[in-house]
Structure 1
Amino acid sequence: MKKLEVFESLIQSAQEHPDQIALIDEMGELSYAQLLNEVNALKQSLVDSGLKMGQSVGLLTENNRHFIIGLYAIIATGAVAMPIFHKQKAQEILQSINEAELTFVLSSHQKMLLPLKLESEALNKVFHLASTVYSDSNLLQPFPEAAFMRFTSGTTGQAKGVVINHRAAIDRIEAANQNLQIGTDTRVLWVFPMAYHFIVSIVLYIHRGATIIINNDFLAEDIISSIQKHQANFFYCAPMHLKLLAAYEGETNIGSLKRVISTTTGASRAICESFQDKYQIDVEQAFGIIEIGLPIINTVDPKAHPDAVGQVLPSYEVKILDEENAEVKSGETGRLAIKGPGMFEGYLKSPRQKNEILADGFFLTGDLASQDEKGTITIRGREKNVIIVHGNKVFPNEVEEVINQFPEIKLSKVFGQPHPLTGEVVVAEITAEEEISQEVLIKHCRQSLSPYKVPQKIIQLEQIEMTASGKIKRV
């Protein structure tokens, strides 16, 4: 019999803290006892509609309580939940459904299903369940204990479906919580799309009986207002939020906030220091990856190394490897490899299982990183994105950090273009509030970068293409 450990953790939280507020959203407050009741009622409706253990269900909801209720109701049946970001275009959603060969799609509103041309039935006043053409398909047969699927962000190519089982989800959140220390007194201000961040976050908070304050307005004024109104003390955010808050000129009293964790992509030293100076709260960067969880957090001295992702957590091991898989010297850049609890089970549609993908138990993340003598890890870029100029390596992140320090720049993307003499040259795309002189920006770069790292070409755009999870999309 399949052990439903993630669902059982909700039952335990509801039994131990029935009156504790589980979440606050635009509809008000919901206690743990009320949350469990809502989940059990939806679970029964799903079973009555024919959902069976081991089938796969897409979850298409707004960023509110409906996501959490739907997520736990699906896995409570023994089925596997695959969250789908509701702000994607219909064609993108259909592509996800087809790629995963989902059996059903559970939605919090019928209008979300209409562009997909899926026939649905109403389960209650909120949820609708639609069947797909894949009723006889079961790509999850090699993964009998699976709880969740999620596609990788696809920043550098085709996204892959990652499969995570119940035990792995619990293992990874308990490993991360040795550092995060989430408990019943934690009041988390939530600003991310739940479809992309739900294991070492939403599931962890529910597991530990915390309160989730869902804020879908990411402007600085709205974030500060939510912190003040609900006395939030834990903020899990992205560099964009830090930058907006650092530039905000209104009231900045957020005395209840005790901890700020920045993830999704690297925050520059300038952004972290601006936030720290304004609010007197250290920014702890963290490295999260869907195949593993949250194995690295900058907790030892984030003020001294604000641009580092930090130190490996006690339950994990990290190696920095060269191209022959030998460990590099301290301070040198190499390929980041991680080993620890809560590893993924494998990739959907992959002929290889987890043990065939791992190298001596280590997962190669695709990131380039360095680790100093004190164990502090800094991400230098992605393997596939390194630019080679006259044999010298250029990491786009390093150049982007310098460009983003220019006052009018909103966002930048750096990449290489082939060149007959140098191999490649550095090119930068930028978005800015006004027209930027190429000569002025290149001069700015020359003050901080070696000559071979300075962009030879700058292209100003109205918008830089991003992935749905908020990362720069790279070729």
Structure 2
Amino acid sequence: MNLLDLFLATAVQQPGHPLIITARDEYTYGDFKLLVDGLIGKLKAQGVKPGDCIGLHYPNSPEYIGLVYAIWGCGACVTPIPVELNPQEKRQIFQHIAIDALLSKTNIIADVAAVQTGEDIIISEQTAFARCIKYLEKPAGFTRLNPAFVRFTSGTTGTSKGVVLSHETVYERIQAANDGLHLDSSDRIVWLLSMAYHFTVSIVAYLTYGCTILLAPNAFGSTIIQLAAKHKATLTYAAPLHYNLMAQDQGSQALPDLRLAIVTTAALDPAVAEAFYQRFQIPLNETYGIIEVGLPCMNLDKPREKRGSVGKLLPAYEARLHTIDQAAGLGEIQLRGKGLIDAYYEPWQERHDILQKNGGWFATGDLGEIDEEAYLHIRGRSKEVISVGGMKFFPQTVEAVLESHPAIQEACVFRYPDERLGEIPHAHVVKTPGIDELPSPKDITAFCAEHLAEHKIPAQITFVDRLLRTASGKLIRNASQLQALGNMNA
């Protein structure tokens, strides 16, 4: 199968229905079909063929979506090259994935010049095409999988790796997700996230089920609210940051048409959830999204009563907990169901080999618990657990205490090697804006001692200008990277 065919079927059914609305333009499904058809012709003229892997280096825009579908129309596979990455990080993707050619917006193609083998060719007003250096060959089983995407994941504690998703797998995922979302042509979705990181269970689903995408020109709270109100948005798909900005809005504009406010990318602060509810009388729907699995959990039925939970499993999935801490009821979350990963790219490992280690289940690396009503609660990553002399805890526990200090806006706690105890916690903290006099590390340590067991108190606390994050917004907890940042800010 090819995901392009799903879009084409929808476009035939509703050619005049709006597909995407921006601050300047509106494309109908019919308009978009013409755009994609034209791009397919231009890509084929440049020699793009079935089995090729095309890097897509483009910001959020209608063109980004059109290029993805055009690449699929050539029988090729998409590898997103997030524009948010620095040039070295972009080059790393090309060094780990065999990319045949590159599509880039013309004004940023210089950022990837180091991987080009020749002149770039302008194929549309703002789009350039270029052949790339081949650092390695594709794995032997790659083309056989009918790949649609190779996503280079964002590593938080170590190295990244590519996740291969086939057309069939993406289709299974959107079907599974729609058992919870119930998308149809009446839905209008405010879009705020990077398309390079969020596409398969979102954008593809929206175009398959005939929805309208409302592309926000910026992430200001007032802009999001005005956009949603003007176009009668029925769904928002955003990060906690965006909901926090909306909650802080001092206006009175209501959002009566909004039926779901999906939270993704990071854990939701209960204070943000409550502030958003007080402002709009709309609960936030927490979800559990994993690049290797899709969107297996959504908190749809009890978003306020079960705040802090990512909800129940959708019908297409099963979960079990592999016991880590029996006393605490914690275990590693393992999943099985529709749309699981087809392969890891490097080193090459296909689905069967990935799953057989755990008897057919995918081990997420996340730790959690399932309550008496079958709601799943995520407690942290197994790789993030800090063990001080055998006493284990999650860094998020310490971060919550640090962030309750009036002088600290946000914190990142990470493990650091220690000869005597094995590991000890260190912390990077960012000061609250407007604070003139910083508390000393000793003062903060004393504050922590009022709320935390001794082994959880950071042995070193460093004020930094910003916390180190991956391009998708996740906190980086790699000690060597963080120590370098701390030294620069010292």
Is TM > 0.5 for Structure 1 vs Structure 2?
A: yes
SS in 2 for 1:306: coil
SS in 2 for 1:200: coil
Q: Which residue of structure 1 aligns with residue 412 of structure 2?
A: 413
Provide the rounded CA distance (Å) in 2 between the counterparts of 1:135 and 1:403.
44
Per-residue deviation, 1:257: 2.2
Residues 177, 447 of structure 1: alpha-carbon distance in 2 compared, 3 angstrom cutoff:
farther
Alpha-carbon displacement from aligned partner over 1:337-384 (angstroms, at most 9, x marks no partner): 111101111011324321111122211111111111211111111111
Give the counterpart letter for 1:393 in structure 2.
K
8 Å CA contact retained: 2:156, 2:475: yes
The equivalences for 1:173-188 within 5 A come to 173-188=174-189
Alpha-carbon displacement from aligned partner over 1:102-151 (angstroms, at most 9, x marks no partner): 00001232542465153211223232210012299433743421111101
What value does the CA root-mean-square deviation take over the aligned residues?
2.2
Q: What is the percent sequence identity of the aligned residues?
A: 32
Q: Which residue of structure 1 aligns with residue 463 of structure 2?
A: 460
> Which one is further off, 347-356 or 57-66?
347-356
The equivalences for 1:294-443 within 5 A come to 294-322=295-323, 332-358=329-355, 359-419=358-418, 422-432=421-431, 433=433, 434=435, 435-437=437-439, 438=441, 441-442=444-445
Alpha-carbon displacement from aligned partner over 1:302-325 (angstroms, at most 9, x marks no partner): 2122112221111101111036xx
Residues 227, 330 of structure 1: alpha-carbon distance in 2 compared, 3 angstrom cutoff:
farther
Provide the rounded CA distance (Å) in 2 between the counterparts of 1:98 and 1:257.
43
Alpha-carbon displacement from aligned partner over 1:5-51 (angstroms, at most 9, x marks no partner): x1111101101111111001243100011111100110111111111
SS in 2 for 1:204: helix
SS in 1 for 2:257: coil
Q: Which residue of structure 1 aligns with residue 268 of structure 2?
A: 267
Q: Which residue of structure 2 aligns with residue 29 of structure 1?
A: 26
8 Å CA contact retained: 2:55, 2:79: yes
Provide the rounded CA distance (Å) in 2 between the counterparts of 1:362 and 1:190.
32
Q: Which residue of structure 1 aligns with residue 283 of structure 2?
A: 282
> Which one is further off, 235-244 or 69-78?
235-244
> Which one is further off, 92-101 or 418-427?
418-427
Provide the rounded CA distance (Å) in 1 between the counterparts of 2:206 and 2:172.
14
> Which one is further off, 271-280 or 204-213?
271-280
Per-residue deviation, 1:446: 4.8
Match of 1:73 among 70, 78, 95: 70
Gapped regions of structure 1 (runs ≥ 5): none
> Which one is further off, 307-316 or 163-172?
307-316
State TM-score, norm by structure 1: 0.93
Give the counterpart letter for 1:100 in structure 2.
I
Residues 310, 123 of structure 1: alpha-carbon distance in 2 compared, 3 angstrom cutoff:
same
Give the counterpart letter for 2:199 in structure 1.
F
State TM-score, norm by structure 2: 0.90
How many corresponding residue pairs?
Answer: 468
Provide the rounded CA distance (Å) in 1 between the counterparts of 2:43 and 2:171.
24
8 Å CA contact retained: 1:410, 1:430: yes
Q: Which residue of structure 2 aligns with residue 19 of structure 1?
A: 16
Alpha-carbon displacement from aligned partner over 1:282-315 (angstroms, at most 9, x marks no partner): 1111111111100011123221221122211111
Gapped regions of structure 2 (runs ≥ 5): 479-490
Residues 421, 137 of structure 1: alpha-carbon distance in 2 compared, 3 angstrom cutoff:
closer
Q: Which residue of structure 2 aligns with residue 470 of structure 1?
A: 473
Per-residue deviation, 1:210: 0.5
Residues 110, 218 of structure 1: alpha-carbon distance in 2 compared, 3 angstrom cutoff:
closer
